[in-house]
Structure 1
């Protein structure tokens, strides 16, 4: 970790986890770093809409000695709310500036769900800094093949983050996969403000990567669930066709496979990233 003021935290993750409060552009961001080896390129992660760092902890635990960076988007978790509406290209700039402040250079990038759109935008704006791209349970935005309206309607407000009982009642319907049998799969969330959630929705409004996906030159791993009510699998297949150097892995799961199948997801992502770094995974020997 490059930030001297970081505080080690262990209650969210089995790995050592360092939390910092970083001030950028008048906002305070809660930033987490899971320290790793200098031999491997760090992994920057963008989270799903309304979600705080806690959601990423199981996946981070499964990533072994890969150094990882994540932050609560303005208005979520313990980050302050932006004073003005923002777009994805602005959030990409914010992330790049954050990396500069933490002392990082090149990174690999992973985005999940809403964060997958940010990851695509970051890869487009930072073609040299972003070495490899991992897109999990996400789509190309406005022109995607949508899920059922009854499912998407439950994403209009952040109620599922702020009301645990409601979240458990609807988890199977909106997340699919293992959440159908384990509605309490996600229990650790920081509350999300309505204004912060609205700003995240605005950031994505009208956005699509469809016209420029063929321009992405980063090797890309696309991860999707075969029972995802939010983002049907057909979207991942289309993105795989459009991104020149891409491959697809399908989980027998739903929207939350980074949590419910964290070990499998971690192994697949580690193998993909290790190929770029020319290193072997200690567990697989590959």
Structure 2
């Protein structure tokens, strides 16, 4: 537990005390998701320090007292990095957290080296997903009722390999902890009216946009919009990947992530470092 920005938050980090040639990854999770949901990704990236936290009212973080917005939570994340003694980081976010990652990179450009946006959008200016998936997405039973989640996993997330379907679902469901009603509502409230689209053409970072072509919640077209709006963005499409392709197509996703993060510094990045 850490105190930052007037909030108590549960923070997880991996390998901060170990020597590494790579900057740490600051990860922003999807709406309502707890640290454990993404812990397998942090463990697969064994060569990199990794930091993430439970948003207020999710996982083990206490309920928020007051509503928040992307500006205040980016400020809070920046304070957490300060307390951990970290400087420049690679920033990554999935779904709701992808919007947070965009905002953090825009608010703290000097602290952000590269940006990875996974299964996400530019905010309110998005192409909506499958209505059946969105209806179930808004139902808090997906966090507290394993039977509901099991029955609707394919509708919600798509991209399930039939050979590994039972293992993938059971593994993911077993790591979930439901957010509090207030925590979930405040996460929804935080993004009302928010969009990054007007600012994206001015972003000078190297950006990787990763999307699944079977995503029922965030259709692929949203990734194309992001990649076209950001001058130094590249789009990687996971074939057969749904909203949780980081889980269902983990090896392929991590390989593409490493290729992007490990690519030599561009002339613009070298100039900024100088």
TM-score (norm 2): 0.90
Q: Which of 63, 75, 79 is 1:81 aligned to?
A: 63
Matching of residue 256 in structure 1 with residue 256 in structure 2: no
Q: Is residue 5–residue 75 contact of structure 2 (8 Å, CA) maintained in 1?
A: no
The answer for the alignment partner of 1:282 in structure 2 is none
Summarize deviations over 1:138-162 as a string: whole Å, max 9, x none: 0111110001222212222432111
2:170 pairs with one of 184, 188, 194: 184
**Preserved contact between residue 208 and residue 235 of structure 2 (Cα < 8 Å):** yes
Structure 2: how far apart are the matches of 1:88 and 1:164?
31
More displaced, 257-266 or 78-87? 257-266
Q: 1:25 — aligned with what? A: 5
209, 212, 221: which one aligns with 1:225: 212
Q: 1:34 is matched with which residue?
A: 14
Give 1:275 shift.
1.8
User: Helix, strand or coil: the match of 2:221?
Assistant: helix
Deviations 1:73-93 (A, max 9, x none): 111000111110111111111
Which range moved further: 80-89 or 30-39?
30-39
| 5+ residue gaps, structure 1 | 1-20, 279-286
Which residue in 2 is equivalent to 1:270? 258
- Of residues 110, 116, 126, the one that matches 1:134 is 116
Give unpaired runs (5+ residues) of structure 2.
267-274
Q: Check conservation: 2:64, 2:182, Cα contact below 8 A.
A: no
Per-residue CA deviations over 1:172-219 (Å, capped at 9, x if unaligned) read 001000177444351211221111000000001111111111111110
- Distance, in Å, in 2 between the alignment partners of 1:264 and 1:122 is 26
Is the 8 Å Cα contact of residues 27 and 79 (structure 1) preserved in structure 2? no
Q: TM-score, normalised by structure 1?
A: 0.86
Q: Does the CA contact (< 8 Å) of 1:27 and 1:81 recur in 2?
A: no
Q: Deviations over 1:90-131 (max 9, x none)?
A: 111110011011111110000000000000000000111101
Partner of 2:186: 199
Structure 2 CA distance for aligned equivalents of residues 97 and 71 of structure 1: 12
Q: 1:1-286, aligned counterparts within 5 Å?
A: 21-35=1-15, 36-178=18-160, 181-182=165-166, 183-186=169-172, 187-252=174-239, 253-276=241-264
2 CA distance for matches of 1:25 and 1:244? 33
* Partner SS state of residue 184, structure 1: helix
Greater helix share, structure number:
2
Other-structure match for 1:18: none
